[in-house]
Amino acid sequence: MISTASLCESSGFGLYLAGDKKGPASVDVSPSHFISFAKQEEMFPGFAALCPANHYARKNFGYLAAMHAGATVICDLDDDNTPSEAFFNAVLGVESVSFVKTDGWLNIYNEFSEENVWPRGYPLAEIQREREVSRGTAELDCPVVQFLADGDPDVDAIYRFVGKIPIYFGEGKLALEVGTWCPFNSQCTHWDSRVFALLYLPSFCPFRMTDIWRSFIAQRLLWENGMRLAFQSPGVFQDRNEHDLLVDFKDEQLGYLYNAEICQKLMRMPFKGGLSNLGDDMISGYEAFVDASLIDRKELTLLEAWLEALP
């Protein structure tokens, strides 16, 4: 974490650390902003009163603190990822970028590696499926950029049981066109301020799906606003924290069964569109998960509190 703090400082970024009830009351890492559990309750009482303790989604308070401090870009990072200098140099917004388009799912890992590896949240039925793919280069607005991770990257429990680790990805940057789905995570992703609302991590769902289901909502609403998601060659090295793979597998089961189906539903749904309607469209998107019995209805109340807490 010290090296991460130093890299943040030299790159002009603040480091915001979100604490939890079971964690320490303070962290001696300088320069950084530690948002303790008590501080979260003080800064955002309405949201804190509804947000479960001892949950990965407490990262939401780090996001909120950074927003209220005037951040124009948020780099979402986990504590087992060591960033490189390249990680802090993402280009967000309109640029000439290579893109890929297919009708349905695209395994982005296959675009950066020859290994048979897939990202967490990718539908199992799609792993061996071949789709027609078109490619090109265009001026596209990409306010969300997911960096890949070398070493022990974000894959599901099934891959960890049978696949090869470590993994090292190639170079490049690739945007996904409208209708081209791929999950992305909360470990090494850059977000432009125009879409900060989409950072919201749901709490009343399986831990291993919180950022994956967030990514589906975000991707669908980016398209609704003429924007795209982009993936970029590794900007971090992941030395993964210890996990029980059977626990991970259990926590990922709803994703294995329903991720393709819920994205089909999101694709068919009408949304208002326009960044001024982003909050309403997020509520509609999460209602689809609630109606499918994937997320508890309490999520909608928490989401409303998130939207009220935004600057």
Residue 247, amino acid: V
Q: Highest mean pLDDT range out of 3-12, 133-142, 236-245?
A: 133-142
The Cα 72–Cα 107 span in angstroms is 30
11's CB contacts (< 8 A; 6+ apart) are 85, 88, 89
Q: What DSSP string runs through 277-301?
A: GHHHHHHHHHHHHHHTTSS-THHHH
**Region for residue 226 given its phi and psi (left: phi exceeds 0; alpha: psi -120 to 50; beta: otherwise):** left
What confidence score (pLDDT) does residue 80 get?
A: 85
Q: Please, which pLDDT band fits residue 7 given cuts at 50, 70 and 90?
A: confident
Asked whether residue 270 is assigned to any structural domain, the reply reads yes
Does a structural domain hold residue 31? no
Say what the pLDDT of residue 46 is. Answer: 97
In a domain, 8, yes or no: no
Say how many domains are in the chain: 1
Looking at per-residue pLDDT, the higher value among 204 and 26 belongs to 204
Domain with 119, as residue range(s), is 73-309
In a domain, 115, yes or no: yes
SS3 track for 6-66: HHHHHHCCCCEEECCCCCCCCCCCCCCEEECHHHHHHHCHHHHCCCCCCCHHHHHHHHHHH
Q: Which residues of 40-69 are buried (b: 16+ CB within 10 A; e: fewer)?
A: beeebeebbeebeeebbbbbbbbbbbbbee
**Dihedrals phi, psi of 101, to nearest 5 degrees:** -135, 130
Query: Over the stretch 77-107, which tens digit does the pLDDT of each residue have?
Result: 988 888 988 888 889 999 999 999 999 999 9
**Residues in Cβ contact with 137 at an 8 Å cutoff, skipping those fewer than 6 apart:** 96, 97, 98, 99
Instruction: Look at residue 82 in the predicted model and tell me its pLDDT.
Output: 87
Q: What is residue 293's predicted lDDT score, i.e. its pLDDT? A: 97
pLDDT value at 185 more than 50: yes
Is 50 domain-assigned?
no
The span from the CA of 28 to the CA of 123, in Å, is: 41
Confidence at residue 31, expressed as pLDDT on a 0 to 100 scale: 61
pLDDT, mean over the chain = 94
Residues in the chain: 311
Residue 65 in any domain: the answer is no
Q: Is residue 128 part of a domain?
A: yes
At 309 the pLDDT is 98
pLDDT at position 161 is 95
Q: Which residues contact 283 (CB under 8 A, 6 or more apart)?
A: 300, 303, 304, 307
The pLDDT value recorded for residue 1 is: 47
Cα 210 from chain centroid (whole Å)? 9
Tens of pLDDT along 137-158? 999 999 999 999 999 999 999 9
Question: What phi, psi does 209 have (nearest 5°)?
Answer: -110, -10
The C-alpha atoms of residue 164 and residue 143 are separated, in whole angstroms, by: 32
pTM of the model: 0.95
**17 in any annotated domain:** no
